[in-house]
Amino acid sequence: MFTLKVFPIMRELTYAEAIREALSQAMEADPTVFTLGEDIGVYGGAFGVTGDLVHRFGTERVIDTPISELGMAGAAVGAALTGMKPVLELQFSDFVTLATEQIVNQAAKIRFMFGGKASVPLVIRMPGGSGTGAAAQHSQSLEAWFGHIPGLKVVQPSTPHDAKGLLLAAIDDPNPVLIFEHKLLYRMKGPVPEEAYREPIGKAAIRREGRDVTIVATSMMAIRSLAAAERLAAEGIDAEVIDLRTIRPMDTEAVLKSVRKTSRLMVVYEGVKTLGVGAEVSAAVAESDAFDFLDAPIVRLGGKDVPLPYNPILEKAAVPQEDEIVNAARRLVREGRV
């Protein structure tokens, strides 16, 4: 007689719901965790991420701030220094430019300057990226700016599962962590465990294994690269897709291992191509033994060197789209160039 095993179906949450659940679980488990930002209370956040948290935890732990990014960042840094674990939400990642002094000159450096006797367990969440018609001042991808700063960790989750796991890991971290959340991902659904789990910061995810070309991508570009890889497979091109998930610290070993196997590399990212994430990935390969395995030049497929347009057709043209990824990978594999 056979016994039928019934496996539970993994529930699905949206990217935004996964973040909200992570915040809720962290706040339930640790009274020092709180969140602050503009309109995150009764309004529920500019993109609805914090939702009903203010009704569950009260206004002393879900704090609506004045419209001053520099002020709220300074308050968050100060709270972290006194033993609290603030999670700061900025309405758009573009507005982090107004808080850069506190993040770059203070949060990133305090632990080093005090010989490890002080820490800044601060998390800053920021919606970024294009695709919503929000124009040049609300659509940028600025993660590479902060990846340049020692003392900061920079995270870019691309799935609901990673959005929850990486946020919980970031809250646990004694160092400041910046999380760039792509606006187009907030409604994306995916499997998310109910328990409070952690995903390691600094560990890439291999979304698809392949043998012909390595596609390294971040955030929304990881999703588009995965879709492009499925189309390429129908043409007989087997692409390996690596989602970096974290750009600082970066899992370069995962990239090098893949390049040694496929002998071709393309890096896809939404930030401006010049001096972007792709440059760091390319340099890491060029400076390693993996360079000797390359059968073609490295390809960087990044955003155009322009402010993001409001016009939807121009906006799409300014950042890599699925068709562009497919065409570039096809040429790289078949012609050895793009």
**Cα gap 314→73, rounded to integer Å:** 34
> Would you please indicate which residues are annotated as catalytic (active-site) residues?
69, 138
Nearby residues of 259 by Cβ (< 8 Å), 6 or more positions away = 214, 265, 285, 290, 293, 294
**Angstrom distance (rounded) from CA 215 to CA 226:** 9
How open is the CA angle 178-94-107, to the nearest 5 degrees? 35
In DSSP notation, 146-168 reads: HHTSTT-EEE---SHHHHHHHHH
Cα angle: 178, vertex 284, 177; to 5 degrees: 10
- What is the number of other CB atoms lying within 10 angstroms of the CB of residue 310? 13
Contacts of 63 (CB under 8 A, 6+ apart): 34, 35, 36, 37, 40, 41
Residues 6+ apart with CB under 8 A from 80: 86, 107, 119, 120, 121, 122, 176
Distance CA 88, CA 240 (A): 35
CA dihedral (54, 26, 254, 209) positive or negative: negative
Instruction: Tally Cβ neighbours within 10 Å of residue 337.
Output: 10
The sheet with strand 62-64 has its strands ordered as: 62-64, 33-37, 85-89, 123-128, 177-182, 153-155, 246-248
Cβ-based burial of 114 (10 A; exposed 0-12, middle 13-18, buried ≥19): exposed
Look at residues 29, 32, 73, 27 and name the one whose alpha carbon lies nearest to residue 53.
Answer: 27
* Helix 220-233 and helix 322-335, axial crossing angle in degrees, nearest 10: 50
